[in-house]
Amino acid sequence: MDKFGFIVHPRSLEDIYAYNKLLRFLPPPIIKEVLKHVPAYKLSDISTVRSATGQEITGCIIGCNLLPQQILQLNPDFVLKKIINAAKIAERLGAKIVGLGAYTAIVPDKGYSVAKNLDIAVTTGSTYTAWLALEGISECIQERNLSWEQLNVAIIGATGSIGSLCTKWLCPRVSKIIMSARHIEKLERLKNLVREIHPRAVVIEQDAHKAIKEADIVITTTSAPEALLDINEFKPGAIVCDIAVPANVQVRFKERKDVKLFKGGLAKLPSEVNFGISLGLPKGLVYGCIAETMLLTFEGRFENYSLGDDIDPAKLEEIAAIGRRHGFGVGW
């Protein structure tokens, strides 16, 4: 049976405390220092995953013990070494492809350096994650009898791996795209690229708070380790798809019943799977990045699939078709 590996890391100190309650009594700086020295290890074996075609695969989860802020702030060579060590464990355990979860997919160069140091394939899972988010929004739009071409869409984190795929796919379909991120040069480059392909209204707004003001649809997909936006900031009736892990949108004090906020980029599995650890998601759902790793394993596509920021948008339709063939759907 073909096997895949998947690398995870704690999303916050809460994940560490959930692992051992007593750790709450240690000062966070000490926990963070200790984490730097904990080697990667196998967290669990994943039970058989059965596709709608009847094919079966198996997998394992490897823990890379760094918090999001550490992955972003520590020396990139040190972080890369930790991620490679984690991936090599999956390789030794017989995985033919390894998926990079959450921030391990981002640092230092969205999978390229990890792939160079392994004899097995690597994917960040960005393509299927982007597709699941777009498909989820399409379902919400249909429910409201709206169509893409009427709508203004803001993409917060537009220049990233997932954000740029969403931008390229949406550009020919919507009324206006508001692209937001911190670095202007990357935004200008993407704007020129999408304008060349489709002469639609594309605007840049570096301030995320301003970018969402007039948006009917908002996709948040930044790698900010803390929430950037509050539910109360959105336009009345907005559809907000938060792909980011940890979340980019926080809901405090007051709910907004008119705003449809959902966690985007999740997949519904075709069969019951025991991951051996909690992924922090409702039963039957997985992150798009794990789902993409599974789908490539079902297909025997042991190739570096989603790496870097410039993924070919044609891959969106390809991975969507593969997902449908194996019975995967949008997870809610």
Ligand X SMILES: NC(=O)c1ccc[n+]([C@@H]2O[C@H](COP(=O)([O-])OP(=O)(O)OC[C@H]3O[C@@H](n4cnc5c(N)ncnc54)[C@H](OP(=O)(O)O)[C@@H]3O)[C@@H](O)[C@H]2O)c1
The Cβ-side half-sphere exposure at 127, using a 13 Å CA radius, reads 26
> CA-CA distance, 269 to 284, in Å (whole number)?
6
- State which residue, 288 or 323, has the beta carbon closest to ligand X: 288
- Give the shortest CB-27-to-ligand X separation in angstroms: 26
Our CB check for ligand X shows the closer of 35 and 307 to be 307
Query: Using the rule CB under 6 A, which residue among 16, 46, 121, 162 binds ligand X?
Result: 162
d(CA 305, CA 64): 21
Radius of gyration in angstroms for the set of CA atoms belonging to the chain, rounded to a whole number? 19
Nearest distance in Å: CB 120, ligand X: 19
Instruction: Supply the minimum distance, in Å, between the C-beta of residue 9 and ligand X.
Output: 10
Residue ranges in 204-233 that form contacts with ligand X under rule CB under 6 A: 208, 221-224, 228
The two tokens of residue 42 are 């196998």
Total binding residues toward ligand X, as defined by CB under 6 A: 34
> How near is the Cβ of 23 to ligand X at its closest, in Å?
23
User: Looking at 181-281, which runs of residues are DSSP E strands?
Assistant: 201-204, 217-220, 229-230, 239-242, 249-250, 260-263, 266-268
For residue 321, CA distances in Å to 201, 250, 299 come to: 29, 33, 12
Least distance (Å) from ligand X to the CB of residue 22?
Answer: 28
List the interface residues with ligand X, window 294-313 (CB under 6 A): 309
Paired tokens of 59: 């997998």
How far apart CA 4 and CA 139 sit, in angstroms, is: 30
Q: What binding mask, one character per residue, do residues 169-188 give for ligand X by CB under 6 A, x or -?
A: ------------xxx--x--
Please pick, from the candidates 126, 152, 297, 304, the single residue that binds ligand X as defined by CB under 6 A.
126
Q: Helix, strand or coil for residue 269?
A: coil
Chain contacts with ligand X (rule: CB under 6 A) = 102-103, 105-106, 110, 124-126, 129, 157-163, 181-183, 186, 208, 221-224, 228, 243-245, 265, 287-289, 309
